[in-house]
Amino acid sequence: MDGRPARLRMATDITRIKDLEREQDQIERALRQSQKMEAIGTLAGGIAHDFNNILMAIMGYTELSLTHVQEDSRLRSCLRGVMNGAQRARDLVKQILTFSRRGETQRQPIQLDIPVKEALKLLRSTLPSDIRMVQDVASTGLVLADPTQIFHLAPEIGFQADGSRQWVVSDSPPLVAVGVAQMRPIARS
């Protein structure tokens, strides 16, 4: 200016651009996680279907064997044990198939703490090892629900816990706290 050297400085605030990039990254991770869960559901459904066919053969042959064994026989007791185990496995296969298909739900009165504890076992195995999990599941009341849908919550809780790590400013490991409390029934009018 006026024959003297001058410097021209320009600055651009890119905060919004960086925020959008982080948001896009988070959406892409959510999409990848959703695709993984869909693939796992498809795989689980195929395995469960095959396993169900095997179980039907086990149950059929066990029933047939029971007709040829004396009522007070030790073998009969063992065969009943096989049948009970196969029936529990069949129920588990139903849960897996419902999960993989996202099929129709069958609500029934259930004690919520039991499926929640099972779902949390699954959740613990999917969380990174540096995420702590604390659970307070003490409800003994009955609720009208589909137990299989409880399992749908576990991967979602895990994904949310893992995704929220970028917002945690702490040296301590991230924490997932899950609780089920006793609630009073809602009065119907």
Same domain assignment for residues 114 and 134: yes
- pLDDT tens column, 101-146: 655 567 788 777 777 777 777 777 766 777 777 777 776 677 777 7
What's the confidence (pLDDT) of residue 167? 47
Same domain assignment for residues 41 and 80: yes
Same domain assignment for residues 162 and 84: no
Same domain assignment for residues 81 and 114: no
Q: Alpha carbon of 184 to those of 34, 140, 144: distances in Å? A: 35, 12, 14
Same domain assignment for residues 122 and 92: no
What's the confidence (pLDDT) of residue 9? 83
Higher pLDDT, 168 or 24: 24
Domain count across the chain: 2
What's the confidence (pLDDT) of residue 152? 63
* Residue range of the domain that includes 51: 14-103
**Domain endpoint, select from 49, 73, 103:** 103
Specify the 3-state DSSP secondary structure of 143: strand
Same domain assignment for residues 163 and 90: no
Q: Is residue 2 part of a domain?
A: no
The predicted model scores a pTM of 0.42
What's the confidence (pLDDT) of residue 5? 85
- pLDDT tens column, 62-90: 998 998 999 889 999 999 999 988 988 88
Same domain assignment for residues 153 and 74: no
Q: Is residue 189 part of a domain?
A: no
Same domain assignment for residues 59 and 115: no
Average pLDDT value for the chain = 77
The structure tokens 């609720």 sit at 143
What's the rounded mean pLDDT across residues 31-47? Answer: 83
**Domain endpoint, select from 71, 103, 135:** 103
**Domain endpoint, select from 44, 70, 103:** 103
Q: Is the pLDDT of residue 22 over 80?
A: yes
Q: What is the CATH number of the domain that holds 149?
A: 3.30.565.10
What's the confidence (pLDDT) of residue 112? 74
Give Cα 98 distance to the centre of its chain. 13
CA-based angle 113:189:107, to the nearest 5?
A: 35
What's the confidence (pLDDT) of residue 169? 46
Percentage, residues of the chain above pLDDT 70? 69
Q: Is residue 22 part of a domain?
A: yes
Q: What is the CATH number of the domain that holds 82?
A: 1.10.287
Q: Is residue 84 part of a domain?
A: yes
